Structure 1
Amino acid sequence: MFGWKRWGWCGLAVLCLWPALAATAETFDPAASRFGFELRTRWGMKLEGEFARYEGEVKHLHDGRHQVVLRMFTESVEIIGHPRYSEWTRGPQFFEAKRYPVVVFVSKPYDEQLLKYGGDLAGDLSIRGITRPKTLTVAPSTCARPGRDCDVIATGAVRRSDYDMDDWMMAVSDRVVFVLRARLKAEVAP
């Protein structure tokens, strides 16, 4: 009888864990995806930043919904065409890359139709050890298979001061707009 009880508990544990075990994931295509942000100086100049290194995946959850997990490495940040601004964004006044090496966005589960028709993608954004709710706006798709045949484009604005990045306020705006253009790696035929 002890053996049946033990196997019964093991079976119950497997059933409870099955949804987590059944979930699959796809990764972003590094050759076709771009994760960046835009800043404005007080003089109206637009600065475009880019995370040269990132990791991300789209999890396919057991209930049919999806979830995005994106990690952008702050040491890889470049402000295009402006090396001094690049150093500043990696430094202690902005991302503080040595202490906080990763910016993380984890979405709430969403229906795949969001990618086709556009809308709000809610989640949590962590910068410099501070996590806040953040909603990205996903643009309507321009193709039948978003993320495969065309980019999935999402944008969202944050205030630097909400993440303790409030230096240089006289020179650079508090508002940072994240711009994410994502494609998934091509499926490999079995």
Structure 2
Amino acid sequence: MEKFTTLTGVAAPLPIINIDTDMIIPKQYLKTIKRTGLGTALFAEMRYDESGNENPDFVLNKPAYREASIIVAGDNFGCGSSREHAPWALKDFGVRCVISTSFADIFYNNCFKNGILPIAVSEEQLNALMDDAERGANATLTVDLEAQTIKGPDGGEIHFDIDPSRKQALLEGLDDIGLTLEKADTISTFETRLDADRPWV
């Protein structure tokens, strides 16, 4: 998994509450188990019209936000069904960080497993970041995971909290499998001892 240390990128404003996983990646795109190729389907029902043409009013279709790597969104982001395709689609599009006041638990956990940093901030902080994100070509934020800060285009800084173990896993680029493999020697030692002590198991 790709490490997350410091991210400087364009932040797209998405001031909608209760953005569910079906909005992030509609159900018709769930037939694949590949983690790539889903970026074009991200927010498909908002990004495209019935003929498949881009909706020019949707934020990610606007020139300033086509390369957005950060999304600043309304409360309760990622609610709904527990589809892991949602963080896959965000990551494939190029989004590495989502900032909101709150996240659905399963989506929040899935983000960490896929190298995406979900940051929960206060309503006041979100309003300030949403204002920054609405600056178009100047909507650049810097997220420093080690320092746990978000810096705005005017130099303002916000501190955020994160579980230390999740932070370390992202900094090192370790998903659940990677974290398990780090303990391979300990596991092997245990299995060897178990075979000697209880050979009938």
So what's the TM-score if we normalise by structure 1? 0.23
Structure number with the bigger relative contact order (C-alpha 8 A, sep ≥ 6) is 2
Bigger proportion of residues as helix: 2
So what's the TM-score if we normalise by structure 2? 0.22
Bigger proportion of residues as strand: 1
